[in-house]
A and B are shown apart, each in its own frame.
Chain A
């Protein structure tokens, strides 16, 4: 039962352009969402989060948008840089202590 879904396994973007990574969820009880970035052979690192009381959160080049009615969130990276090339996971915690992770989107930023 995949409660958090990332339907695009990979994305390629030119350096300097915008990267848009998408995430859908099925559980309307989720009230907090996180994006993690993962390099090969490393653990995920926290990138940015958003509470369900907001529809946008911005941190430098990274912005997360939340559309609760569509149960959809997206991560925008602008301008994209080669160092952004990594796998990006969206995640949502349940009322317990579990994170539900999406399957990830591998972003390649082409110099």
Chain B
């Protein structure tokens, strides 16, 4: 029973490029959450998705960021035209339902924008 899988673990992008971060939830989990950790800060909520639906995207920047969780395949966090300030660790968590104690986190993707 594999845990939450995120890939890539490390991603380097030049300013202006696109970044795609993938998250495969645990088997049987239909709820996915994305969090971002900026240097010296705690984790900040970005978006909550269920299969094919964005439930809460109140933490997503208004521009350049989008997320999806298709019927088949992993959840994708997409950042267009990356800037240096996007450099952070991005964590995905999944849960089988809206139950906080059962949200399991992946190992994260560290995005570096150069």
Please tell me if B58 contacts chain A, counting CB pairs below 8 Å.
yes
Name A22-48 residues within 8 Å CB distance of B: 32, 34, 36, 41-46
> Do B101 and A46 touch (CB < 8 A)?
yes
Please tell me if B42 contacts chain A, counting CB pairs below 8 Å.
yes
Please tell me if B4 contacts chain A, counting CB pairs below 8 Å.
yes
Please tell me if B79 contacts chain A, counting CB pairs below 8 Å.
no
- Name A4's closest neighbour in chain B (CB-CB): B42
> Do B103 and A46 touch (CB < 8 A)?
yes
> Do A89 and B33 touch (CB < 8 A)?
no
Name B48-65 residues within 8 Å CB distance of A: 48, 55-56, 58-59
Name B3-60 residues within 8 Å CB distance of A: 4, 6, 9, 31, 33, 35, 40-45, 48, 55-56, 58-59
Task: From A89, A91, A97, A103, give the contact of B48 (CB < 8 A).
Answer: A97
Of the four ranges (under 10, 10 to 19, 20 to 34, 35 or more), the interface on chain B belongs to 20 to 34
Closest Cβ of chain B to A32, distance in Å, is 6
Please tell me if A65 contacts chain B, counting CB pairs below 8 Å.
no
- Name A87's closest neighbour in chain B (CB-CB): B42
> Do B48 and A43 touch (CB < 8 A)?
no
- Bound state CA distance, A40 and B108, in angstroms? 11
Residues of chain A within 8 A (CB-CB) of B105 are 36, 43-45
- Name B98's closest neighbour in chain A (CB-CB): A97
> Do A97 and B55 touch (CB < 8 A)?
yes
> Do A101 and B101 touch (CB < 8 A)?
no
> Do B41 and A42 touch (CB < 8 A)?
no
- Bound state CA distance, A104 and B98, in angstroms? 24
Q: Footprint of B on A, CB under 8 Å? A: 4, 6, 32, 34, 36, 41-46, 49, 89, 91, 93, 96-104
A-B contact pairs, 13 of them (CB 8 A): A4-B42, A36-B105, A41-B108, A42-B108, A44-B105, A46-B101, A46-B103, A46-B104, A49-B101, A98-B45, A98-B59, A101-B43, A103-B42
List 4 A-B pairs, minimum CB-CB distance, nearest first: A43-B105, A101-B42, A98-B45, A101-B43
